[in-house]
Amino acid sequence: MDLLVVGLGNPGTEYEGTRHNIGADAVERLVARHHGSLKLEKGLHARVGQIRIAEHPVLCAVPLTYMNESGRAVAPLVRRAGIDGGPDAEDTTSGSEPGPAKRLVIIHDELDLPSGRVKVKVGGGTAGNNGLKSIHAHLHTADYLRVRIGIGKPPGRQSGADYVLKRPGADEREHLAVAAEVAADAIELIVTHGVEVAMNRINTAE
């Protein structure tokens, strides 16, 4: 598998359309764009589907765990995709091919970016995102790729926890829908042109 793309969120209808689920929304849009579908797969805590982007196989997934347990879904997905660096993984040590962690992309919401802004990042901290904290704990690495979708800071004294679990108003919802498509664009760029090109194009876009 060339790439594993995981969109974070919370399962259940009560969380659909909330800010915290924008990563999952982006993966669903990417899969639909390439005429795929996400289905339950035995042994995985996720809905999973394989698509092809410019003839490159890409495994896409949306965890069925809650956000703060995302790592419990991502760890077996990494093994399923054969990118964990184990004996069944493809050899990516030669040339300019990325190592195992660089073939995992997590799409997630980001409080530290303005609502609707999208940025591609390699490794780094969690910025308080409980999904990333869980993934760190299970994978024992922070070197995977991230596509960060900005949701902005909570207004006034509203807590971050309450803010991310709210559904945005109509204007913001429209901005986030566009951002989810841009996140899907970012994945296509990573697959076809590499992460550096994706960062240059996505991170500098107005």
Active site residues per annotation: 20
Distance, C-alpha 51 to centroid of its chain: 15
Tokens of 201: 């194009």
Q: How far apart are CA 67 and CA 175, in angstroms?
A: 23
Report long-range pairs for 201-205 (Cβ below 8 Å, ≥24 apart): 202/118, 202/119, 202/120, 202/147, 203/119, 203/120, 205/118
DSSP three-state, residue 50: strand
Q: How many CB atoms lie within 10 A of CB 52?
A: 13
